């Protein structure tokens, strides 16, 4: 019996020992799976543009959406221990959810729910004007919701203006800083934000002061690294959230990395670039994941206390293979209902309401950008603006939009309210408003030339118009490509455009502001100056005073002009949008008649230079031939002697 008791106790001890060994083994396996000390993982996005819900890609498949993005984030967190979730700016402006920006801070709140650690401002956060951005930051700071920290170092709120003071107070209240230093799992980090030069040029109403990105970054790196050494006793990993962009492997962030030693990682937003392999500049890695949460960027690093090395990099597609996260999906549905009540109710519309059925294939957004052409999508938007303003009793000669403000296409099948808003979501304030101004006939012709000559070097500048008919030859001299233009009446007849006459033009606020900058962007060669009814130039900051009001005194929104135009079609898309109607003709020809038709100064200067060069070649050739003949005569004369 004693022997039996002894054996039972021995068996229990052996069993306990085995369980301990198994537990320790499991912990070791888990630790190995999640990585050694000094390893860390950065999950990143940028240019989310309020796209809480998936979008349909060019193949008709769903991509993006925050509920599926959350699932991908959770999957990566399960596999890695030391994880940061970061965003490169432009988290707002792009869907109906943006209408809750000022009052409810929906974008920052949902990012907080998803566990974002840091983000920065993009240019579109400043579309809401200083008052709107300050209101959003105030709403976020006063809510009980978690929100990401915000860093921006070279875009400053001036202290000598009312708008600057308003933003400065909002930044301080929220906790917006140049940079943050912190330690996570024994690894120190320095994270700062940079605002790009192009981003600044696209933010005419920001009220902010722009500082040199490279100079500011060098200052931040020096200051932040010193602070980390003093606080943590070692150098940090330096991460820059930049809203500057990369283009064809280079761009502003490439220059930033080249001019600023000491940055380990740049998350590059603004240009909507997808980098399937990082760009490495000296010891800096530049990464981008594309727009609208279509991908989750994953960058895994090893860090030995001085050097950061990339060990793994991938873009995880956010598609239908991922199940939506239930909590985020429910929150988005609640946001939809809030938008219905707080915004769409005033238009007697709802988020998912069907406006009509569409049988026609419109350009994708990429196709709108790719080549100079007449687009039925651009025609639809321009026609809608003209129609909506005329419905309010205003006369309109021309209406126009630009490729750069078309954010989504119109799908085949059911067209819902939310999709139309997404397609025309850019604007100043909360959404785009239509403005009605005057321009001279000469400036209207310059607008055609902007479309013809600027589009090849700036694809967002392609214009689509209603009320005109014009053509251009792409083989002609720059700034002299347009060979015919006329006003186009509703009955199909045309009328000559008179240089000195004032014509009424309707466009979105965003495009209206860009038209006012044409002269500076074309080196003073072209100008399209918005004017009042007396012909006086309108300062860009006063363009907001020229919004078109409906009969109730409310501004007409771009998206609503398109939506109401569609509603007027009786449930089916008008067949006039089945194909282009010939209002814009783009062609290439070297035929003399096509090269010289309605030619202007640039063509004749070029022609003169060509003739001069030909004359010089002929002159030099003649001289050479005469010289050769003289030599031959001299040789013959010598032989005859």
Instruction: Tell me the per-residue pLDDT of 314-334, one tens digit each, with 9 for 90 and over.
Output: 999 999 999 999 999 999 999
Per-residue pLDDT at 506: 97
Task: Tell me the β-bridge partners of 537.
Answer: 531
- Give 81's DSSP letter: S
Cα(559)–Cα(588) distance, integer angstroms? 35
Per-residue pLDDT at 520: 66
Phi/psi of residue 83, nearest 5 degrees: -120, 135
List the 284-287 sheet strands across, edge first.
179-184, 187-195, 237-243, 265-268, 284-287, 279-281
Number of Cβ within 10 Å of residue 532's Cβ equals 14
Burial class, 492, CB count within 10 angstroms (exposed 0-12 / middle 13-18 / buried 19+): exposed
- Give 554's DSSP letter: P
pLDDT digits (tens, 9 = 90+) for 186-227: 999 999 999 999 999 989 889 999 999 999 999 999 999 999
Per-residue pLDDT at 507: 96
Do 203 and 122 meet the contact criterion of CB atoms below 8 Å apart?
A: no
Cα(407)–Cα(423) distance, integer angstroms? 5
Q: Residue 610 pLDDT more than 90? A: no
pLDDT, average across residues 238-265: 96
Q: Residue 32 pLDDT more than 50? A: no
Q: Which one is predicted more confidently, 601 or 167?
A: 167
Cα(618)–Cα(612) distance, integer angstroms? 10
Q: Residue 602 pLDDT more than 90? A: no
Q: Residue 58 pLDDT more than 70? A: no
Per-residue pLDDT at 34: 35
Give the residue among 484, 471, 506 at the shortest CA–CA distance from 383: 506
Q: Which one is predicted more confidently, 532 or 461?
A: 532
Q: Residue 523 pLDDT more than 70? A: no
Q: Residue 417 pLDDT more than 70? A: yes
Confidence of residue 516 (pLDDT cuts 50, 70, 90): low
pLDDT, average across residues 577-596: 96
Mean of the per-residue pLDDT values of the chain: 90
Cα(72)–Cα(67) distance, integer angstroms? 9
Based on its alpha-carbon atoms, the radius of gyration of the chain, rounded to whole angstroms, reads 31
Q: Which one is predicted more confidently, 274 or 637?
A: 274
Q: Residue 373 pLDDT more than 60? A: yes
Q: What is the pTM of this model?
A: 0.84
Percentage of the chain exceeding pLDDT 70:
91
Q: Residue 137 pLDDT more than 80? A: yes
Do 242 and 267 meet the contact criterion of CB atoms below 8 Å apart?
A: yes
pLDDT digits (tens, 9 = 90+) for 456-497: 888 888 999 999 999 999 999 999 999 999 999 989 999 999
Q: For residues 613-637, b (16+ Cβ closer than 10 Å) or e, as one string?
A: eeeeeeeeeeeeeeeeeeeeeeeee
Looking up tokens 């000195």 gives: 500
Please count the residues of the chain: 641
Give the residue among 259, 264, 249 at the shortest CA–CA distance from 310: 264
pLDDT, average across residues 563-589: 97
Q: Residue 29 pLDDT more than 50? A: no
Q: Residue 12 pLDDT more than 80? A: no
Residue 166 has, within 13 A of its CA and on its CB side, a CA count of 14
**How far from 312 is each of 42, 185, 401, CA to CA, in Å?**
10, 20, 43
Q: Residue 33 pLDDT more than 80? A: no
Per-residue pLDDT at 640: 67
pLDDT digits (tens, 9 = 90+) for 255-295: 999 999 999 999 999 999 999 999 999 999 999 999 999 99
Burial class, 209, CB count within 10 angstroms (exposed 0-12 / middle 13-18 / buried 19+): middle
Beta pairing, strands 187-195 & 265-268? unpaired
Per-residue pLDDT at 430: 64
Cα(505)–Cα(515) distance, integer angstroms? 11
3-state secondary structure of 95: coil
Q: Which one is predicted more confidently, 11 or 88?
A: 88
Number of Cβ within 10 Å of residue 268's Cβ equals 32
Confidence of residue 72 (pLDDT cuts 50, 70, 90): very high
Task: Tell me the β-bridge partners of 415.
Answer: 356
Confidence of residue 61 (pLDDT cuts 50, 70, 90): confident
Per-residue pLDDT at 502: 98
Q: Which one is predicted more confidently, 273 or 602?
A: 273
């Amino acid at each position: 019996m004693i022997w039996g008791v002894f054996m039972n106790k021995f068996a229990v001890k052996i069993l306990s020992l085995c369980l301990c060994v198994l537990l320790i083994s499991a912990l070791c396996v888990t630790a190995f799976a999640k990585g050694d000390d000094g390893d860390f993982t950065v999950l990143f996005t940028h240019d989310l543009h309020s796209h809480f819900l998936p979008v349909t890609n060019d193949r008709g498949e769903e991509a993006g959406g925050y509920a599926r993005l959350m699932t991908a984030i959770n999957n990566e967190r399960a596999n890695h221990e030391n994880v940061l979730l970061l965003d490169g700016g432009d988290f707002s402006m792009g869907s109906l959810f943006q209408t809750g920006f000022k009052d409810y801070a929906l974008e920052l709140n949902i990012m907080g729910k998803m566990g974002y650690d840091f983000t920065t401002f993009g240019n579109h956060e400043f579309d809401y004007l200083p008052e709107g951005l300050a209101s959003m930051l105030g709403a976020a700071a006063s809510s009980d919701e978690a929100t990401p920290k915000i860093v921006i170092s070279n875009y400053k709120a001036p202290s000598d203006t009312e708008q600057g003071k308003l933003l400065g107070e909002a930044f301080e209240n929220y906790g917006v800083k140049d940079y943050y230093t912190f330690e996570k799992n024994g690894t120190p980090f320095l994270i700062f934000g940079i605002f790009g030069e192009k981003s600044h040029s696209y933010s005419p109403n920001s009220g902010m002061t722009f500082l040199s990105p490279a100079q500011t970054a060098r200052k931040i790196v020096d200051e932040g690294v010193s602070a980390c050494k003093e606080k943590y006793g070692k150098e940090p990993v330096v991460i820059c959230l930049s809203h500057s962009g990369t283009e064809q492997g280079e761009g502003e962030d490439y220059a930033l990395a080249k001019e600023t030693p000491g940055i380990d990682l740049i998350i590059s937003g603004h240009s909507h670039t997808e980098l399937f392999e990082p760009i490495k500049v000296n010891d800096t890695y530049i990464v981008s994941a594309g727009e609208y949460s279509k991908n989750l960027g994953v960058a895994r690093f090893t860090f030995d206390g001085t050097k950061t090395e990339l060990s793994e990099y991938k873009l995880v597609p956010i598609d239908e293979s991922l199940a939506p996260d239930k909590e985020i999906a429910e929150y988005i549905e609640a946001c939809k209902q809030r938008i219905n009540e707080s915004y769409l109710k005033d238009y007697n519309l709802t988020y998912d309401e069907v406006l009509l059925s569409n049988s026609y294939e419109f350009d994708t957004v990429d196709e709108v950008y790719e080549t100079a052409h007449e687009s039925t999508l651009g025609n639809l938007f321009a026609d809608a603006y003209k129609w909506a303003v005329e419905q309010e009793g205003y006369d309109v000669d021309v209406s126009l939009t630009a490729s750069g403000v078309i954010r989504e296409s119109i799908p085949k099948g059911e067209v819902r309210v939310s999709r139309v808003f997404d397609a025309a979501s850019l604007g100043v304030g909360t959404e785009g408003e239509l403005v009605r101004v005057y321009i001279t006939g000469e400036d209207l012709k310059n607008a055609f030339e902007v479309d013809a000559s600027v589009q090849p070097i700036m694809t967002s500048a392609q214009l689509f118009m209603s009320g005109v008919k014009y053509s251009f030859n792409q083989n002609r001299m720059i700034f002299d490509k347009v060979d015919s233009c006329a006003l186009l009446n509703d009955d199909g007849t045309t009328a000559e455009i008179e240089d000195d006459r004032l014509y009424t033009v309707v466009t979105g606020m965003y495009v209206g502001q860009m038209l006012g900058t044409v002269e500076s962007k074309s080196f003073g060669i072209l100008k399209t100056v918005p004017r009042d009814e007396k012909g006086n130039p309108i300062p860009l900051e006063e363009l907001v005073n020229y919004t078109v009001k409906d009969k109730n005194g409310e501004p007409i929104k771009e998206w609503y002009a398109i939506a109401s135009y569609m509603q007027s079609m009786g449930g089916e898309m008008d067949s006039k949008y089945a194909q282009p109607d010939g209002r814009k003709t783009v062609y290439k020809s070297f035929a003399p008649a096509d090269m010289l038709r309605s030619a202007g100064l640039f063509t004749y200067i070029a022609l003169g230079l060509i003739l001069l060069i030909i004359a010089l070649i002929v002159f030099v050739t003649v001289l050479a031939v005469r010289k050769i003949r003289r030599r031959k005569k001299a040789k013959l004369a010598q032989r005859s002697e």
